[in-house]
Amino acid sequence: MSLKLNLKPEYKSAADFFRNHDNLLLLVHEKPDGDALGSVLGAAHLLQSLGKTVTLVNDDPIPDKFRFLPMADRFLLPEEVEGTFANVIAFDCGDRKRLGRSQGLIAADANLLNVDHHVTNDHFGTENIVDLEAAATCQIVFKIAQELRIELDLDTATCLYTGLVTDTGGFRYSNTTEEVLLIAAHLLTAGVSPYQIVDRVMETLTWPQVQLIRTVLDTLDRDESGMISWVTITRDMLERAGGCDEDVEGLVNYPRNVEGVEVGISFRESVPGKVKVSFRSKYVVDVGAIALEFGGGGHARAAGCTVDGDVDTVKDRVLARVREVVTAVDTKPEATQ
Amino acid sequence: MSLKLNLKPEYKSAADFFRNHDNLLLLVHEKPDGDALGSVLGAAHLLQSLGKTVTLVNDDPIPDKFRFLPMADRFLLPEEVEGTFANVIAFDCGDRKRLGRSQGLIAADANLLNVDHHVTNDHFGTENIVDLEAAATCQIVFKIAQELRIELDLDTATCLYTGLVTDTGGFRYSNTTEEVLLIAAHLLTAGVSPYQIVDRVMETLTWPQVQLIRTVLDTLDRDESGMISWVTITRDMLERAGGCDEDVEGLVNYPRNVEGVEVGISFRESVPGKVKVSFRSKYVVDVGAIALEFGGGGHARAAGCTVDGDVDTVKDRVLARVREVVTAVDTKPEATQ
């Protein structure tokens, strides 16, 4: 079944940028995730099929779980590249600063195409395709490929599927639209194996990660209403598990997913005297607003902040405030998401 | 975007059965899961929109997490229903026996339509639509609705999406086909909220479930090769956590998902002197064959058996055999799934 999408005019401009430039530098934000890598590598394949030469650069090594992506081995550190580039495309990056040291490779008068879906994007490119309706930057790259009338091969489809599946939490978040699933269906016809991709990028746990889950679940607690639940992650726990910073991500989902809970929180001692607080809410509470009060930010359902103090003090302060908010909204009808 | 699927001739016969009968008894297997309930309730809505009267019966109470499904409150126990029915449809049920006590409500000469997707289905109906290519019985019901040319409302779409998402493990298993995702995309246009459905049926954990995860992770172990990992669940652990039998399901995924593991196993003391063994494999090992050797069965990637003996003895026996199999396949190239 062929897929016909409605493409806004900026997709034509982006496709022209792909067509009309060569010797391209392709960049994504530091500490790249599945959508950053999926979109830049998907685009790299598209550009190669147009006969273009591409250079892939990132400040950080590619995480193990994304190394299976075709061409992931082509990434260079900025220090490994000489000179500057006149033609650059940045993917999944809200502002120029998040390109890190790689910014130094962009010529002063470069043609810079900025391809992104974040609402915070500051349109830092000389050309910008910032589609806020897209669930993933991979969705934008897919639509550029449609505009280019390129039939996707398995390698390209694998990259794009990876970004779609990671940025929608496995087609679970509320950004999962009809178009997302239609594109995913179309990518399957190119031979993508959803099982293998999800297994590698979303389900695999390292041994330290499992050890950390087990230690952290020992700290799981909830308030008397059952609507607030939290876990605590100390530096000692992380060290004993042999884990790294990334292993902490996602742990906040355990308290969040407990039946009856509206707000799930993780308290994490990042350095002595500083506690990183992550919030998740289910239906009603705007945790972005709470995080903002503590000097952080985020969305209504997912937010975070860093608070000065030892773990117990920060926990008391934050829980007191969350309790106030939960009590206030408790009587309102359940919002839909 | 409208969805045009190719419908095999048996879909026409099934649609005729829906059209030509009334006062229908709708049944699913005992201990119904998301696809059983999604398909029978989806069909119930379709039949009501055709002006038919339906009676929903199951041997077991509907699990809490599925009670949000529209019309889930209409289920009766067989003891609450008088007489027998001349027109019956069974959903997601491989053989008549799995209908349990509800079988007693089927008249001896009843018209019985059997709607299922299991390869083990024994075609027990007077009419049968057993589509082995369908990932879920909900996919079959969706296609019957297409044959009936019924525009799906939100209630029907919610039921059908629930079965699609649960029987594909959240669009992760290898049964996730283009058609599955196209149907899911189409259901979103009826207003389905993927976030809320997945949250309720797949992500929510009860407090006892979390307690059980934490206790069971304390038993996580792996062999020296790192290719076999396992957890142990004693009756004492389940009791202390306050959990029920269903809470044990899915725990085998923790050892299975550890990086480098090929076979994940859970050993569960079901009654004293009996151990239920669940196997999951990733790419190569046929755990169905191993389970068969121990008197059980299943698929290549998911299987189980019940072995007599205490936990330690059964663990030693089973792990020894799994080690032999893993060692034998270790040198073969990685199979694709």
DSSP 3-state assignment of B306? Answer: strand
| Chain B environment of A206 (Cβ under 8 Å) | 258-259
Q: Residue A101 has what DSSP assignment? A: G
Residue segments in chain A with a per-residue pLDDT below the cut of 50? 1, 333-337
Rounded distance, CA B278 to CA B253, Å?
10
Which segments of A104-211 are extended strands (E)? Answer: 106-116, 127-130
| Chain A environment of B195 (Cβ under 8 Å) | 172-174, 176, 337
Q: Minimal CA–CA distance to B30: which of B126, B102, B79?
A: B102
Q: How far is A133 from chain B (nearest CA, A)?
A: 16
Nearest to B259 among A170, A204, A258 (CB): A204
Instruction: Enumerate domains of chain A plus CATH numbers.
Output: 9-203 (3.90.1640.10), 207-329 (3.10.310.30)
- Residues linked to residue B222 through DSSP beta bridges, in sequence order: B229
- For residue range B139-154, what is the model confidence (pLDDT) as tens digits? 999 999 999 999 999 9
pLDDT at A247: 85
Nearest to A336 among B193, B198, B218 (CB): B193
Helix (H) or strand (E) holding B323: helix B311-329
Mean pLDDT of chain B: 94
- Long-range CB pairs of A320-325, under 8 A, 24+ apart, other chains included: A321/A290, A321/A293, A321/A294, A322/A228, A322/A263, A322/A265, A322/A279, A322/A285, A322/A290, A323/A223, A323/A228, A325/A285, A325/A289, A325/A290
Which of the residues B158, B205, B211 would you substitute to probe the A interface, choosing the one with the greatest number of A C-beta atoms within 10 Å?
A: B205
- Contact between residue A200 and residue A68 where contact means Cβ atoms under 8 Å apart: yes
What values do phi and psi take at A28, rounded to 5? -140, 175
**Is the pLDDT confidence value at B331 over 80?**
no
Q: How far is B225 from chain A (nearest CA, A)?
A: 13
Which of the residues B4, B207, B223 would you substitute to probe the A interface, choosing the one with the greatest number of A C-beta atoms within 10 Å?
A: B207
Q: SS3 letters for B9-53? A: HHHHHHHHHHHHCCCEEEEECCCCCHHHHHHHHHHHHHHHHCCCC
Contacts of A248 (CB under 8 A, 6+ apart): A212, A233, A238, A266, A268
- Contact between residue B277 and residue B292 where contact means Cβ atoms under 8 Å apart: no
pLDDT at B244: 83
Q: Does A70 touch chain B (CB under 8 A)?
A: no
| Chain B environment of A188 (Cβ under 8 Å) | 176-178, 181
Q: Does A181 touch chain B (CB under 8 A)?
A: yes
Rounded distance, CA A272 to CA A235, Å?
8
Interface of A with B in 241-300 (CB under 8 A): 253-254, 257-259, 282
Q: How confident is the model at residue B237 (pLDDT cuts 50, 70, 90)?
A: very high
Angle at A60 between CA A59 and CA A62, to 5 degrees: 130
- For residue range B193-234, what is the model confidence (pLDDT) as tens digits? 998 999 899 988 989 999 999 999 999 999 999 999 999 999
Q: How confident is the model at residue B246 (pLDDT cuts 50, 70, 90)?
A: confident
- For residue range B51-60, what is the model confidence (pLDDT) as tens digits? 999 999 999 9
pLDDT at A337: 39
Which of the residues B3, B176, B261, B337 would you substitute to probe the A interface, choosing the one with the greatest number of A C-beta atoms within 10 Å?
A: B176
Q: Does B198 touch chain A (CB under 8 A)?
A: yes
Contact A207 B181 (CB under 8 A): no
ipTM for the predicted complex comes to 0.86
Task: For A4-18, give one letter per residue: b (16+ CB within 10 A) or e.
Answer: eeeeeebbeebbebb
- For residue range A261-284, what is the model confidence (pLDDT) as tens digits? 999 999 999 999 999 999 999 889
> Which amino acid would we find at residue A137?
T
Rounded distance, CA B92 to CA A146, Å?
39
Percentage of chain B surpassing pLDDT 90?
84
- For residue range B282-322, what is the model confidence (pLDDT) as tens digits? 889 999 999 999 999 988 888 999 999 999 999 999 999 99
Contact B171 A184 (CB under 8 A): yes
Q: How far is B92 from chain A (nearest CA, A)?
A: 23
Distance of CA A144 to the CA centre of its chain: 20
**Is the pLDDT confidence value at B4 over 90?**
no
Q: Residue B65 has what DSSP assignment? A: G
